[in-house]
Amino acid sequence: MDMTQTADNSSIILDTSQHHDRILILDFGSQVTQLIARRVRETGVYCEIWPFNQADIDRIKDFQPKGIILSGGPSSVTEENSPRAPEGLFDLGLPLFGICYGQQTMVHQLGGRVETSDHREFGRAYVDIKSRTQITQDIWEEGAHEQVWMSHGDRVTSLPEGFSVIGTSTGAPFAFIADEARQFYAVQFHPEVVHTPHGGQLLKNFTHEVCGCAGDWTMAAFRDEAIEKIRTQVGDGKVICGLSGGVDSSVTAVLLHEAIGDQLTCIYVDTGMMRAGESEQVVELFRNHYNIPLIHEDASDKFLGLLDGVSDPEKKRKIIGATFIDVFDAVSSRIGKVDFLAQGTLYPDVIESVSFTGGPSVTIKSHHNVGGLPERMNLKLVEPLRELFKDEVRDLGRALGMPEDFIRRHPFPGPGLAIRIPGEITEEKLEILRKADTVYLEEIRKAGLYDAIWQAFAVLLPVRTVGVMGDDRTYDYVCALRAVTSTDGMTADYYHFDHEFLGNVSTRIINEVRGINRVVYDITSKPPGTIEWE
Ligand code: XMP
């Protein structure tokens, strides 16, 4: 498959994987299925995640995987109607690796027994290795006592024909089993999480030694193939790309420019709610350094005018989203005929996750996105990052020679500083916030903490408090500082700065930023908080 036409005929998806060995991961709904994919890709092997109920045997055969991994999941195989691997999976003659629920359904479907146990295991556990196999080679010898991470209530109590025990734990006598003749391996524990220290190597042994994958899926290979594919897809068409200054859109733009040169035009919409120096940096890098045709549209008056007097967070987000589309549309119509819109869509946005509840989820925040654009402008999509995780996008940026500090940038939300000023937005507040944010980030960089933090920023609260500076009474705004660690933005913990650092930042902000006389630090994790304040 080179290109796939979607149902609405508007989007074409690049598939750069066809020259490489592939592993298929069947998802039974585990919270950590994406980690399996990341571990496999770290071994240089391309893989995809498919929901178990969308993987019929013919589709699997077309995909031509060299092996299949069955993920964990929240169900119990002892319940009626719980998920099963597709009919015929065990007769394909392919190596299989079952993890947790994947192990249990493998055992159950092949004639063994799984029972709900009183002896549940959550967290750290130890497996005693009873015999050697191809998949444990060079890591776990017979007699070893190895740390793993468990999360299970059910457990296997009798094995299907052909299987033998590789390892046991206190709570799971069949913690690690194999049928070496058929190359079926299955574990009760989770090799994909970091708390199973040799888990990555175990998965590598599966993909390389058992499945025979070459491990040649590197970012340099990806880059070269993606460039070829983009050329084939775009032909001599014209492409526009919305640049936000973030990593995903920046890497998309540089990759496209490498592929099609000046057939690409980038549009950078300045909403007036960018951080200090942000617009200048984007123009410098893309127009001056890369020589990419770039339209820098200063629409700040329009955005700020429409936001005047608006304080409700959802209203702000909706106004910004709609205005962005209007401005983008107007700018691109000035360019003339355009055929494609390039977007930095990533693999986590593409994976269809297994939903057991089926019901609609609550909207916490209306995310700023440009999803309305392709339909309105009748454009086909170019999405060269659709197969990649965030950290792989950064690697691709490196393979494209992009500056390291650009690649490592913290995420910045589409609505910008608007959602860091609870209440009404004014030019004055934006200016105060920019200054405070600059001081905060400067101190973080100086302390060498920037890369240890997922995201750090200042928030200007719509609250004035009384202070005293010199002999004068002050009555100024409160600034809240936020810094979090996270792997994907879905959950987060606040960053544990030492007090001296925070005290120093507070002093600098109050001394240097007129309009702020008090600084507080936000120690809320996500959940229950969110990363941004609105
Ligand atoms: P929350 O506040 O939902 O943020 O915990 C999670 C991550 O998403 C970013 N964020 C956005 N990114 N458009 C974006 O492109 C948005 O509308 C948006 N809102 C939040 C936020 O900065 C954090 O990294």
pLDDT over threshold 80, residue 2: no
54, 176, 154, 55: which is closest to 104 by C-alpha? 154
Listing DSSP states for 400-437 in one string gives TT--HHHHTPPP--TTGGGGGS-S---HHHHHHHHHHH
pTM: 0.83
Ligand 1: centre distance to CA 470 (Å): 40
> Per-residue pLDDT tens for 238-267?
999 999 988 999 999 999 999 999 999 999
Marked catalytic residue, from 20, 47, 48, 100: 100
Return the ligand 1 atom nearest residue 368 CA: 17
What is the C-alpha R_g of the chain? 26
Spatial neighbors of 360 by CB under 8 A, at least 6 apart, are none
Q: How far apart are CA 463 and CA 429, in angstroms?
A: 12
Collapse the DSSP code of 188 into the 3-class scheme (helix H, G, I; strand E, B; otherwise coil) and give the result.
coil
Does residue 367 have its Cβ closer than 6 Å to ligand 1?
yes
Return the ligand 1 atom nearest residue 419 CA: 19
Q: How far apart are CA 395 and CA 217, in angstroms?
A: 12
Does residue 416 have its Cβ closer than 6 Å to ligand 1?
no
Backbone angles phi, psi at 60, to 5 degrees: -65, -45
130, 433, 407, 507: which is closest to 274 by C-alpha? 433
* Average pLDDT score over the chain: 91
152 neighbors 170 (Cβ within 8 angstroms) = no
Nearest CA to ligand 1 atom 4: 531
> Per-residue pLDDT tens for 49-82?
999 998 999 999 999 999 999 999 999 999 999 9
> Per-residue pLDDT tens for 489-498?
888 899 999 9
Listing DSSP states for 346-411 in one string gives -HHHH-----SS-SPPP-S------TTHHHHHT-EEE-TTTT--HHHHHHHHHHTT--HHHHTPPP
Does residue 531 have its Cβ closer than 6 Å to ligand 1?
yes
Marked catalytic residue, from 121, 192, 225, 278: 192
- Per-residue confidence band for 298, with pLDDT thresholds at 50, 70 and 90: very high
